[in-house]
């Protein structure tokens, strides 16, 4: 399996509070998954935790898991500056190590499932922030510190 896209999620847990990937894994196992469904979890503290291997199928977008990396930002509506900086580092590393992923192939969960709002952000803002470095694009998602 070679990932060809990235999907961003949130954990739907209180903003600004780390939730260990091991706890998210417990939620997913309770829902019947064999392990955490995401490939990576990015905490408000800026810590990055890894879940499934990059060459392993995830369980994070119903009907669209094949070759789709799942990244979970811990929180619900607002995310920290450290979290966005960790996301940037993570994406830089992914686009280097997985050059087959087109650099536009980033999505938000709700784009695949209009019944959901996850991760409560718009991909066009994330793309503008990531590709141009324009931090004002994500200002509305930043947790006041």
Interaction of residue 110 with Zn ion, rule CB under 5 A: no
Give min distance, CB of 62 to Zn ion, in A.
10
Give min distance, CB of 110 to Zn ion, in A.
8
Interaction of residue 118 with Zn ion, rule CB under 5 A: yes
Interaction of residue 52 with Zn ion, rule CB under 5 A: no
**Helical ranges in the chain per DSSP H:** 21-30, 81-97, 109-112, 123-132
What is the C-alpha to C-alpha distance for residues 40 and 53, in angstroms, rounded to an integer?
9
Give min distance, CB of 24 to Zn ion, in A.
11
In angstroms, the Cα distances linking 24 to 38, 80, 88, 125, 144 are 9, 19, 22, 26, 25
Q: According to CB under 5 A, which one of 9, 28, 39, 52 is a site residue for Zn ion?
A: 9
**Helical ranges in 2-114 per DSSP H:** 21-30, 81-97, 109-112
What is the C-alpha to C-alpha distance for residues 112 and 60, in angstroms, rounded to an integer?
11
DSSP state of 138: G
Give min distance, CB of 9 to Zn ion, in A.
3
Give whichever of 94 and 108 is closer to Zn ion, judged by the CB atom: 108
Give whichever of 9 and 52 is closer to Zn ion, judged by the CB atom: 9
Residues forming contacts to Zn ion in the complex (CB under 5 A) are 9, 109, 118
């Amino acid at each position: 399996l070679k990932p060809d896209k990235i999907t961003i999620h949130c954990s739907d847990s209180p903003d600004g509070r780390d939730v260990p990937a091991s706890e998210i894994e417990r939620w997913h196992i309770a829902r019947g998954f064999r392990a955490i469904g995401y490939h990576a979890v990015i905490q408000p503290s800026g810590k990055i935790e890894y879940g499934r291997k990059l060459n392993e199928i995830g369980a994070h977008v119903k009907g669209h898991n094949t070759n789709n990396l799942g990244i979970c930002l811990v929180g619900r509506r607002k995310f920290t500056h450290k979290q966005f900086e960790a996301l940037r580092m993570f994406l830089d590393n992914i686009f280097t190590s997985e050059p087959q992923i087109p650099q536009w192939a980033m999505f938000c969960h709700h784009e695949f499932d209009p019944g959901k709002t996850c991760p409560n952000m718009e991909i066009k803002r994330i793309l503008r922030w990531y590709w141009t470095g324009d931090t004002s694009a994500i200002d509305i998602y930043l947790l006041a510190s």
